[in-house]
């Protein structure tokens, strides 16, 4: 009887722990969506869940761990969305693939922000286990998207380079496109700084379309018989 | 006479100020080169120059201002080096240009680190004047490199997209290639994580070569007469 009660209590406490963790992640997601990842402190997340910061630290080690978990979730969600769109094309063209990658990424501002933040900040202030779990998730999604891209007759290596460029450039261009309001006003008002204003979707599509076209001629050249 | 003395004193103090500023920038550069930009605090820079942190703040507003100035210097130095190498080719090929861009960037680890840090952190914690001065420097160097790239028969827009990809990807890939030693060991020891190990120069060259090849066919297609 004692064991059964213990099991019940353990289950109850595990369930309570999971509920708490979900509440914390939800709070971080909501705050980041409205105020941007960079501006969200651990204290703000704790406030929103209605718990003390020291209590929150029993569930997650650092602010970075919370956002690294959200990055993993974003990878899963984006990957599913982009693969769904890609499968809908009977025989996708380079331009269709570029547009799909650029559109689905820029439609996810929080993911773009996390893509730039992950290697710089998030992967550095967490446990090895947290980095490992995030990396396994991201690499697995890269593999899944890459096999979808191979329908364009690209090699695995080329498909992976395309995904690396799409996600890294989305992260970098997004950061450039969203400076502080004062800096953005400066860019807009000073003709010499006009080039500092970035249109992420347009520039990302252009770059990806050329990259894919370039990889396709590379493949075609490799298939040509070697001249004597 | 009084004015002459005042002028002399003003010149002396201006000179002293400049000497101090140079000493601070040199200290930051040396520390960043050995320990990485991310690890250098304002306190560490002050210690190295042998002044108190509060005294250092009379010369620079923030740690970010110091590193944004160093970013501007890095742009000037890299731009001169890459343009010199490019002019040495009589008729540069897409592969030569890609290799030159990738090699000159990866040979400058501090610049790669600053390229990723600038839009995320450095441009955000400084005055408008500091952002303006940095942006004008960087955009001007982009323009100079772009006119060198146009020898490949690329449009201005394409040349700018190539430089944006080269510098943003150098920043992003460099961050991925240099995680903490523990994380790097994890990547190396776990077969599932093998793809997380990044060879910046090789991957950057591959991507840039395909991008340039892709832009070149785009240009060629635009030059073809429109079919009736």
Q: Does the pLDDT at position B1 exceed 60?
A: no
Q: Does the pLDDT at position B39 exceed 50?
A: yes
Q: Is the CB of residue B147 less than 8 Å away from at least one CB of chain A?
A: no
pTM of the model: 0.91
Please give the average per-residue pLDDT across A112-141, as a whole number.
92
Q: Does the pLDDT at position A224 exceed 70?
A: no
Q: Does the pLDDT at position B228 exceed 70?
A: no
- The pLDDT value recorded for residue A71 is 97
Q: Is the CB of residue B158 less than 8 Å away from at least one CB of chain A?
A: yes
- The pLDDT value recorded for residue A225 is 56
Write down the residue that tokens 């620079």 correspond to.
B60
Q: Are the beta carbons of A172 and B168 separated by less than 8 Å?
A: yes
Q: pLDDT over 90 for what percent of chain B?
A: 73
- The pLDDT value recorded for residue A1 is 54
Please give the average per-residue pLDDT across B190-218, as a whole number.
93
Q: Quickly list DSSP for B39-84.
A: G--HHHHHHHHTS-HHHHTTT-S-HHHHHHHHHHHHHHHHHHHHHH
Closest-approach residue (CA) in chain A for B189: A132
CA distance B136 to A186: 12
Q: Is the CB of residue A128 less than 8 Å away from at least one CB of chain B?
A: yes
Query: Which residues 185-224 of A have a C-beta within 8 angstroms of B?
Result: 186-187, 190, 192-193, 195-196, 203, 206-207, 209-215, 217-218
Query: Which residues 87-126 of A have a C-beta within 8 angstroms of B?
Result: 116-117, 119-120, 123-124
Selecting from B38, B186, B217 the residue whose C-beta is nearest the C-beta of A132 gives B186
Cβ-Cβ contacts under 8 Å, A142 against chain B: 195
Please give the average per-residue pLDDT across A23-27, as a whole number.
96
Please give the average per-residue pLDDT across B139-157, as a whole number.
94
Q: Does the pLDDT at position B224 exceed 70?
A: no
Q: Does the pLDDT at position B5 exceed 90?
A: no
Minimal CA separation from A3 to chain B, in Å: 39
Per-residue pLDDT tens over the stretch B61-115: 999 999 999 999 999 999 999 999 999 998 889 999 999 999 999 999 999 999 9
Q: Are the beta carbons of B183 and A123 separated by less than 8 Å?
A: yes
Report residue B223's pLDDT band, with 50, 70 and 90 as the boundaries: low
Q: Are the beta carbons of A142 and B195 separated by less than 8 Å?
A: yes
Q: Are the beta carbons of B165 and A164 separated by less than 8 Å?
A: no
Angle A183-A184-A189 from CA coordinates, rounded to 5°: 100
Q: Is the CB of residue A156 less than 8 Å away from at least one CB of chain B?
A: no
Please give the average per-residue pLDDT across A198-220, as a whole number.
93
Cβ-Cβ contacts under 8 Å, B139 against chain A: 192-193, 195-196
Report residue A4's pLDDT band, with 50, 70 and 90 as the boundaries: confident
Write down the residue that tokens 């860019």 correspond to.
A187
Q: Are the beta carbons of A116 and B117 separated by less than 8 Å?
A: no
- The pLDDT value recorded for residue B10 is 77
Which helix (DSSP H) or strand (DSSP E) does residue A95 occupy?
helix A94-106
Selecting from B124, B183, B211 the residue whose C-beta is nearest the C-beta of A128 gives B183
Q: What counts of helices (H) and strands (E) characterise chain B?
A: 10, 0
Per-residue pLDDT tens over the stretch A32-72: 999 999 899 999 999 999 999 999 999 999 999 999 999 99
Per-residue pLDDT tens over the stretch B104-134: 999 999 999 999 999 888 888 899 999 999 9
Q: pLDDT over 70 for what percent of chain B?
A: 96
Please give the average per-residue pLDDT across B140-161, as a whole number.
94
Q: Does the pLDDT at position A228 exceed 50?
A: no
Please give the average per-residue pLDDT across A80-94, as a whole number.
94
Please give the average per-residue pLDDT across A100-114, as a whole number.
97
Please give the average per-residue pLDDT across A156-172, as a whole number.
97
Closest-approach residue (CA) in chain B for A38: B120
Q: Please check whether residue B66 is in contact with residue B60, taking contact to mean a CB–CB distance below 8 angstroms.
A: yes
Preferred mutation among A119, A130, A196, A222 to probe B, highest tally of B CBs within 10 A: A119
Distance from the Cα of residue B217 to its chain's centroid: 29
Minimal CA separation from A200 to chain B, in Å: 12
How many A-B residue pairs are in contact by the CB < 8 A criterion? 141
pLDDT mean across residues, chain B: 91
Write down the residue that tokens 């201002």 correspond to.
B65
Closest-approach residue (CA) in chain A for B171: A172
Residue B225 φ/ψ region, left for φ over 0, alpha for ψ in the -120 to 50 degree band, beta for the rest? beta
Q: Are the beta carbons of A215 and B217 separated by less than 8 Å?
A: no
Selecting from A123, A186, A207 the residue whose C-beta is nearest the C-beta of B128 gives A186
Angle B57-B62-B65 from CA coordinates, rounded to 5°: 120
């Amino acid at each position: 009887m004692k064991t059964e009660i213990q099991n019940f209590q353990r289950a109850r406490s595990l369930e309570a722990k999971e509920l708490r963790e979900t509440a914390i992640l939800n709070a971080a997601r909501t705050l980041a969506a409205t105020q941007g990842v960079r501006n969200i402190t651990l204290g703000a997340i704790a406030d929103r869940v209605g718990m003390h910061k020291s209590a929150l630290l029993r569930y997650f080690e650092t602010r970075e761990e919370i956002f690294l978990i959200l990055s993993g979730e974003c990878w899963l969600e984006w990957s599913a969305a982009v693969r769904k769109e890609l499968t809908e094309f009977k025989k996708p063209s380079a331009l269709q693939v570029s547009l799909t990658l650029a559109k689905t990424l820029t439609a996810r501002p929080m993911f773009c922000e996390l893509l730039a933040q992950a290697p710089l900040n998030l992967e550095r202030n967490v446990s090895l286990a947290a980095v490992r779990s995030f990396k396994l998730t991201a690499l697995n999604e890269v593999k899944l998207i890459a096999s979808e891209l191979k329908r364009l007759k690209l090699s695995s290596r080329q498909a992976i380079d395309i995904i690396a460029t799409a996600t890294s450039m989305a992260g970098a261009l997004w950061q450039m496109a969203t400076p502080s309001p004062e800096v953005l006003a400066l860019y807009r008002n000073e003709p010499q700084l006009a080039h500092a204003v970035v249109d992420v979707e347009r520039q990302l599509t252009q770059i990806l379309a050329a990259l894919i076209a370039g990889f396709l001629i590379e493949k075609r050249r490799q298939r040509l018989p070697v001249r004597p």
